[in-house]
Structures are given as C-alpha cells and as structure tokens.
Structure 1
Amino acid sequence: MELTDYIRILRKNWIIILVATALGLALAALFTWTRTPVYQAQSTVFVSTQAGGTVAEMQQGQNFTQSRVTTYANLVTTPIVMNPVIAQLDLETTASRLATSISASSPLNTTLITITVEDTDALRAAEIANALAASLTNAVESIETPNDSDTSPVRLTRVKDALPPLAPSSPNPPLNLVLGGLIGLALGIGIAVLRAVLDTRVRTPQDVEVVTDAPLIGAIAFDPKAKDRPLIVHADPLSPRAESFRALRTNLQFLDMGGRSSFVVTSSVPSEGKSTTTINLAIALADAGKKVALLDTDLRKPKVAEYLGIEGGAGLTDVLIGRVRVGDVMLPWGDRSLYVLPAGKIPPNPSELLGSTQMASLLEVLERDFDVVLCDAPPLLPVTDAAILARATSGALVVVSAGRTNRHQLSGAIDALQTVGAKVAGVVLSMVPTRGPDAYAYSYGYGYGGTGHYGYTQTRAARKGRAAKAAAAPKAPSETAGL
C-alpha cells in the first residue's frame, strides 16, 4: 500500500482510533488509581581501606576496595544484613520477603554503595534504608576483621542518610497515561489497518485493478435520492451524478471495440445499479447526438420500461419468437434519438432466447442501424444470461457497486465472461461516495451554469438541439423487417 492508502485508512477509521486511544487512557487511569502508592528511599555508604601512607600502599588499598565493593553490595540482601534490621525495626516479615523490595548497586569505578528500599510507607522506607546501611557496615567489618586483630582493614561510612520521600515513586500518573494513550493509539491503528487488509470490498480504482486489467471507464457519484430520480441525466442534468454519466459517455467513445458498438451492461450481483446506469448512459449518448438503441435483455426482472414510463407488455421476447417485428415494438423516448425495446413477457427460457440465432441477428441489424446499442442484462453470478449475450456483442460493461461488491464477486463475474469468450470492455464503479475517505473526485466544475443565466441558456439550447435531431431522425428502424 502507498502512503495515500494509509491516510485513507486513518481517515476512514478515525472513530475506531479515537475510541481505542480513549480506552487506553481510561485503562491507564484506572490502573493508576487502583495501585497502592510505593515510596522509594535511598542511603549511600562509602567503602575505604586502612592503607599505609605511601602512594603504592594507597593504590593497592584502592584496588582492593574496588574489587570487593560489588561483593559488599550483594551482601545487602542476605540474611546476615537483613535479620538485624528486621529485629531492630520489629518488622513482621522474613529476610526473603524483605529482599524483594531492596536493591543495592555500585556505580562503575567507584567505591560507593547505594541501598534502595521500596515500601508503601515513606517513613518506614527511610528507616529500613538507614538500618540496612548500618547493618551492612557492621557485617562487613565483622567479616573482614582478621582472627588475630581487633580492627578491620575495610571501613564503611554512611555518606548519605535516607529521608522520607515526599511523593511516591509509583505509580507515575503522567507516564502511565502517556503509555496508555500510545498503546491505545497503536492498537487503534492496528485494528484500522487489519480491517483494511481483511476488507475485500471494492471501494477504489486500485481495488478494481487488483482483480482485472479491464479499464475503469466511469465512476458514478452516489445520490441518496437515486430511487426518487433514477433518470438523473434527464431530471437534473447539472448534478454531480449526471456529470458522472457524461464522463462515462466520453470514455466509452474512446474504447476500441473493432468497429462495433454494442454493449451488454451487467453486474456481479443484483442491486448494483446496472439498470439505471444503462438508461442514463443511453440518455447521455443520445444528448451527444448519437442514435441509441436501448434493449431490456433482463428477461427475469425487467426494469427499463418501468423506469422510462413506457408500455412493456410486448417487446424483445415477442420479436425473438417471431410474433412481432422489431419496428412495431421499439419505441422512441423523449425528444432524443433514443429508441427503447422493452423486455416483453417473461419467458420460461431466458438463456436460450438470448443465445439464439434470432438474438444474434437482431443485434447485427441494430448495430447497422444505430450508433450505439446498449443491452441491460441480468447479473452474472446468479444466472448465465449476460455472459451468453455478451458473446454476441462487442463487449460487456461490468457495473460494480463501491463498498458493497467484494473482489471475489467481481473476479467471479469477470471469469464468467472470459469463460464464454466475451470481452470485458470496461468496469464502471457505481454509488461512489462524493465525500469521505473513499470519495472520488467529482466536485470540481459543477458550479458552472448551475443556477445562473448561463445554465438556463445552455439547457434550453440543448433541448432545442435534441428536438431538431429527433425530428430529423427516423421514427423507428423499419428496415429491420423480418425481425
């Protein structure tokens, strides 16, 4: 993943990251609040030897002291030093238990021993540290005193007495809160990245490129009112979603389909917006002066006639079984050079009809009479209708709902087309959000002509142009007699 992908993941999952960070802070605060304060007191002793007055004797004594100081530091946690302290301070504990709260250290190249004591009582911690320093002094002098002498060549002097600390050494609220926040933040980012890795839904053009080499020729902006105004190019031509269809129209015209111009518009699964995409694309092409034939080849759940508000009782199925001629049931729509062939009655054998020689002949004739032929077909994964039909056209346009269709479904749809030898002309992302981390770039330029006189003039001029084209165009493809 690139840096932009990580930024998108963070933007998309900022709530999870914020909650995880807050949770880390809360747990750190709870941990700090429930811990018993521990106080730390330190006393320091200096180790020296009773050396002679010459420089050599003093150097020898210094070397002897440094070689023994680590041993003396280790004596602090032994019973010989701690038992007198326990008895002196009347501590209700044992030497082994007391040793867990005591440590002794000696800085490198020094003869100082620092005794550190941790206790829940500040005064007791200081008392134990001072008592240990005194007990260590006695123990070392006793051990180092030769049998034939009354004095020890080693002397321990307490150079720093332990004082009762004013504040506990642990817990450390600021440190705990910082660590808790950092751990929560790291956990939140980890969850966000894991969600992104495990999420196989197609959201961006990069997700499409992972599945197929087919070009992404369009990204249709999401419209929350799409159900109320499915024909957005006709109802609101200045909206971002309508602009998306015009961009799709432009990209479609640049596809090299070997001189043919018939397309099957399908999807992986239902409810991805393939029917509205087909219809709006057909209207956009007709607005650009193209002569367009729109066929409802979804012989299972036809929607074109319903969306366009035309009679759909007779249509494609009647033409394929030879009951009527195509010119009798192919209807002009609006003031555009757009002709619509409804699905007609739902047959018991849709796949057989769409794969018949009559269907291939019909497509061949329509390609000759129209600039563009668009076929609204069923989804690819539930049924094979679209794959069979795509083989007889110049290619298939696969509509993918952003954020709903996963990569496995898209891959299955592409495989279904390639298995029958159909060409995938391109992929169209639908329902792409215009805001948020998954947004596609739509917003620029939409203010031009939106509310002012320019927009009104352009719209009126476009309508006049479409009316003139419709008047000059033939009313129906009457030359397709016999179909």
Structure 2
Amino acid sequence: MELSDYIRILRKNWLVIVVLTLLGLGAAAGYSLTRTPIYESASTVFVSTQSGNTAQELQQGSSFAQARINTYVGLTTTPVVLNPVIADLGLARTAEDLAKDVKASAALNSTLITITVSDPDAVQAAKIANAIAASLASAVPQLEPESNSGASAIRLSRVSDAQPALKPSSPNVPLNLALGVLVGLALGIGVAVLRTTLDNRVRTPREAEQITGSPGIGAIAYDTKAKERPLIVHADPLSPRAESFRALRTNLQFLDMGGRSSFVITSSIPSEGKSTTTINLAIALADAGKRVALLDTDLRKPKVAEYLGMEGGAGLTDVLIGRAKVGEVMLPWGGRSLYVLPAGKIPPNPSELLGSRQMNTLLEMLEKDFDVVLCDAPPLLPVTDAAILARVTSGALLIISAGRTTKHQLQGATEALNTVGAKLAGFVMSMVPTRGPDSYYSAYGYGYGYGYGYRETPAKTSKAERKGAKRRGRTTPLASVPAAPTLDELGFDSRRDAREADRES
C-alpha cells in the first residue's frame, strides 16, 4: 500500500477513529474520576556504625553498613517493625495489609533508607511513614549483635521527617488522559485498517486494473436522480454525469482495436448501470457526428427500447431468425445519427442466437456501415451471452459499480471473458461518488470545468414538458433522417453493392 492509500483509509474512517479516540479519552477520564485519591509521604533514615575512631575503623564500619543496608530495607515491611506502628497509631489493620502500602528503598552505595507510605489520608500517610522510621530505628539495634562495649554497632537516625502531601500521587489524571487518547487512537486506526482489509468491494481504478489487467477508460459520476433521468446526455447535457459520458466517448476513440469498432458493454452482475451507460455513450458518440448502431443484445431482460421510448416488439431476434430485415426494425432515434435495433421478442435460446453465424455476419456488416457499434449485453456471471458475443466483436467494455461490485465477482467476470478468448478492451467505473475519500475524478481529468456553464436541471417539470421531451426522444420516420443500412437476407447490403456496381461500370 502507498501513502495515498493510508490517507484514503484515514479519510474514509475518520469518524470511527474520532469516536474510538473520544471513547478512550472518556474511559480514562471515568477511571480517573472514580479512583480514590492516594497520597504519598516519605521519611528518610540514615544508617551508621558506632564503633571505631580511626579512619580505617570508620571505613570498615561504613562498608559494614552498606553491606547490611538491603537487609534493613527488607526488614521495613516485616511484622517486627510494623506491629509497633499499628499499636502506637491505633490502626485497624494487620501487618500484612499495612505492608502493601509501604515501600522502602536504598540508593546504590548509600546508607540512606527511604520509607514511602501510601494512604487516602495525606496526614495519616505522613504519620505512618514517621512511625515506621522510628520503629525501624528501634528494631535494628535490638536485632544486630552487640559490640565489645555491650551496645549495638549499628545506629539508625531519622534525618528527614515525612510531611503531608499537598496533591495526590494517583490517579495521575494528565497521564491517564494521554494514555486514553493514545489507546483510543491506536484502536481506531487498527479498526480502520481492518475494515479496509476485510472490504472485498472494488472502489478504486487501481484495484480494478490489478484484477482485470485492462485500462480504465472512464468513470461515470453518481447521480441521485439517475432513475428519474436515465438518458442524462439527452436530458441534461451540462450535468457532471453527462460530462462523464463525453469523457468516456473521448477515451474510447483512443483504444486500438485493430481497426474494428464494435463493442459489447456488459457487467459482472445486474444493476451496475450497463444499459444506461451504453445508451448515453451512444448518444454522446452520435452528438460528436459519429454514425452509431445501438443493439440491444440482452435477449433475456431487454431495456434499451424501454429507456428510449421505442416499440420493441420486433428487433434483433426477428432479424436473426430471418423473420425481418434490418432496415425494417432498425430505426433512427432522437434526430441524431443514432440507429437502434431493439431486442425484439425474448427467445428460448438467446445464447445460441447470439453465437450464431447470422449474428457474426450482422456485426461484420454493421461495422462497415457505422463508425461505432455498441451492444448492450447481459451480465457475465449469471449467463454466458455477453462472453459469447464478445468473442465476435472487437472487444468488451466492463461496467464496474464503485463500492458495489466485489473483487471475486470482478475476477469471475474477467475469467469468463478470458475463457472464450474474448478481449477486454477496458473497464468503466460507474456510480462513482463525486465527494469523499473514494472520489477520484481528478485521476481521470474530470474534476476541471464542472463549474463552467453548469446548469442543474429542475427536479420537477410540467406534464406538458415531459410529453414534449418524450416526443423529441421518440423514433422519427425514416424519411426525415439518413436511411439506416438495409441487410437483405442477413449479410447482403443492397446500398453498398449498388455503390460497388457503380464503380465497376
């Protein structure tokens, strides 16, 4: 993963990170507020020897005291020292219980013993520390062997009395809050990375490129009103979504398909926007002056005629079985150089029809008479129709719904095309968010220019306006536009043969 990926993860999961960080802070604050404040007081005892007047004897005494210092530190928390303290102060505690609140330590090469006592009462902590120091000073001479003079060679003197603490030693509120923030932040980042790792959906072009091995040739902006106006290039040509289709049109022209210009547009699963993408791309190509043939090759659930407001009773199925000629059922649409061949009646054997010799011949003849041939095909995973059809065209364009299609589904669709030897010309990301961390239109060069001349189409139009728009989008008579190519007996173009006859004469 690159730095940009981690930044995208943080941007996408910032709310989770913030929430967990605040929870960590709240937990630390709650813990600190519910703890009983504990105060610490310390008393210091000096250990010395009483025998010897010469320097050598004093040095020996000091060495003896240092050698015994750890023994006296351990003696501090024993009942022999603590029981007198309990009796003197009238504590309702046992020596074992009191020992838990007492700490004794001695610095290296030092004869000073520091006795620290913790207690909820600052005054009581100081009293106990001083009492333990006094008890230790009395207990040690009694335990050590007497010298020749009959007195103990070790003497303990209290050199620093314990004073009541002004502020508690625990809980350490600033430290606890800092730790709570750090733990919450680390947990939030961990959850964000885990969510991204477990997310099996395709969200970026780079993920799609790694799976398909094909280039991304476009991205279609997400539009909340897509269902209300599916033909966005026709209904609102200045919208960001319409601009996405024009960018797709431009990129499509740079694909090297070996001189051919027929494309199967399909997807991995249903409802990824393949039909609306096909139709809008066809309109955008026709607006650029291209002669476009739009075929509804989805012989199971055809949608082209419904979106375009055409009669779809007769169409591709009738042509393939020899019931009708192309010129009779292939009609122009919208006053453009766009000709539409609906699916026709749903046959019982769509895969066989699409893989037939008649379909292959039809595509070859259409490629000669049109600049671009677009075939709206079914999804690849449920049925094999699109894979069969892609084999006899110049290539397939795979529609990938951003954040909806899973990596396994995309991999399965790619394998379906590779299995039949079809070429995947490229993929198109659909329903791409225009905002947020998963928005990447700048990578395609679509982010610039949306503010220039953009006019939002009113959400509501009158009934008369909708009828007028529908009439303008309906099929017009053949006499009012350039004639569509006519194929006689599936593969015979009378107009082209007439031109060839003229050249020979």
C-alpha separation in 2, matches of 1:482 and 1:416: 29
C-alpha separation in 2, matches of 1:182 and 1:450: 46
- On the 8 A contact 2:83/2:95 being kept in 1, the answer is yes
Change (3 A) 1:255 1:439: same
C-alpha separation in 2, matches of 1:250 and 1:150: 110
1:136 matched to 2:136: yes
Task: Give 1:461's aligned residue.
Answer: none
Amino acid at match of 2:130: N
SS state at 1:46 partner: strand
- On the 8 A contact 2:41/2:118 being kept in 1, the answer is yes
- Note the alpha carbon deviations across 1:59-113, whole angstroms, 9 max, x for none: 3333222222222111111222112212222222222222211111112232211
Amino acid at match of 2:448: Y
C-alpha separation in 2, matches of 1:59 and 1:444: 87
Amino acid at match of 1:289: G
SS state at 1:134 partner: helix
C-alpha separation in 2, matches of 1:443 and 1:240: 9
1:398 matched to 2:398: yes
C-alpha separation in 2, matches of 1:265 and 1:92: 87
Amino acid at match of 2:452: Y
C-alpha separation in 2, matches of 1:61 and 1:144: 14
Task: Give 1:455's aligned residue.
Answer: none
- On the 8 A contact 1:240/1:443 being kept in 2, the answer is no
Q: Shift in Å at residue 481 of structure 1?
A: 4.8
- On the 8 A contact 1:365/1:480 being kept in 2, the answer is no
Amino acid at match of 1:246: R
- On the 8 A contact 1:327/1:481 being kept in 2, the answer is no
| Structure 2 unaligned blocks of 5 or more | 456-477, 492-505
- On the 8 A contact 1:28/1:176 being kept in 2, the answer is yes
SS state at 1:427 partner: strand
Task: Give 2:459's aligned residue.
Answer: none
**Quick one: which of 448, 460, 464 aligns to 1:444?**
448
Q: Shift in Å at residue 426 of structure 1?
A: 0.5
C-alpha separation in 1, matches of 2:252 and 2:150: 108
Identity of aligned residues (%): 72
Q: Shift in Å at residue 436 of structure 1?
A: 0.5
Q: How does 1:18-167 map to 2 (within 5 A)?
A: 18-50=18-50, 52-146=52-146, 148-167=148-167
Amino acid at match of 1:475: A
Of stretches 33-42 and 302-311 in structure 1, the one that deviates more from structure 2 is: 33-42
Of stretches 57-66 and 3-12 in structure 1, the one that deviates more from structure 2 is: 57-66
C-alpha separation in 1, matches of 2:376 and 2:417: 15
Q: How does 1:250-329 map to 2 (within 5 A)?
A: 250-329=250-329
C-alpha separation in 1, matches of 2:104 and 2:340: 93
Q: Shift in Å at residue 148 of structure 1?
A: 4.7
Task: Give 1:458's aligned residue.
Answer: none
C-alpha separation in 2, matches of 1:293 and 1:149: 123
Amino acid at match of 2:173: P
C-alpha separation in 2, matches of 1:303 and 1:170: 72
RMSD: 1.9
Amino acid at match of 2:249: R
- On the 8 A contact 2:45/2:159 being kept in 1, the answer is yes
Of stretches 139-148 and 347-356 in structure 1, the one that deviates more from structure 2 is: 139-148
C-alpha separation in 2, matches of 1:174 and 1:310: 72
Task: Give 1:9's aligned residue.
Answer: 9
C-alpha separation in 2, matches of 1:302 and 1:352: 17
Amino acid at match of 1:188: G
Change (3 A) 1:245 1:40: same
SS state at 1:428 partner: strand
Task: Give 2:420's aligned residue.
Answer: 420
Of stretches 355-364 and 137-146 in structure 1, the one that deviates more from structure 2 is: 137-146
C-alpha separation in 2, matches of 1:422 and 1:98: 83
Task: Give 2:485's aligned residue.
Answer: 477
Task: Give 2:378's aligned residue.
Answer: 378
Q: Shift in Å at residue 173 of structure 1?
A: 2.1
C-alpha separation in 2, matches of 1:50 and 1:148: 12
C-alpha separation in 1, matches of 2:288 and 2:56: 107
C-alpha separation in 2, matches of 1:99 and 1:32: 25
Task: Give 1:463's aligned residue.
Answer: none
- On the 8 A contact 1:24/1:181 being kept in 2, the answer is yes
Task: Give 1:188's aligned residue.
Answer: 188
Task: Give 1:431's aligned residue.
Answer: 431
Task: Give 2:246's aligned residue.
Answer: 246
1:356 matched to 2:356: yes
Q: Shift in Å at residue 232 of structure 1?
A: 1.3
C-alpha separation in 2, matches of 1:423 and 1:19: 47
C-alpha separation in 1, matches of 2:148 and 2:56: 25
TM-score by length of 1: 0.92
| Structure 1 unaligned blocks of 5 or more | 452-469
Amino acid at match of 2:483: K
Q: How does 1:219-238 map to 2 (within 5 A)?
A: 219-238=219-238
Amino acid at match of 1:42: A
Task: Give 1:365's aligned residue.
Answer: 365
Task: Give 1:467's aligned residue.
Answer: none
SS state at 1:474 partner: coil
SS state at 2:150 partner: coil
- On the 8 A contact 1:315/1:343 being kept in 2, the answer is yes
- On the 8 A contact 2:294/2:338 being kept in 1, the answer is yes
Amino acid at match of 2:401: S
- Note the alpha carbon deviations across 1:308-363, whole angstroms, 9 max, x for none: 11111111111111110011111111122111101111112211111111111111
Of stretches 203-212 and 336-345 in structure 1, the one that deviates more from structure 2 is: 203-212
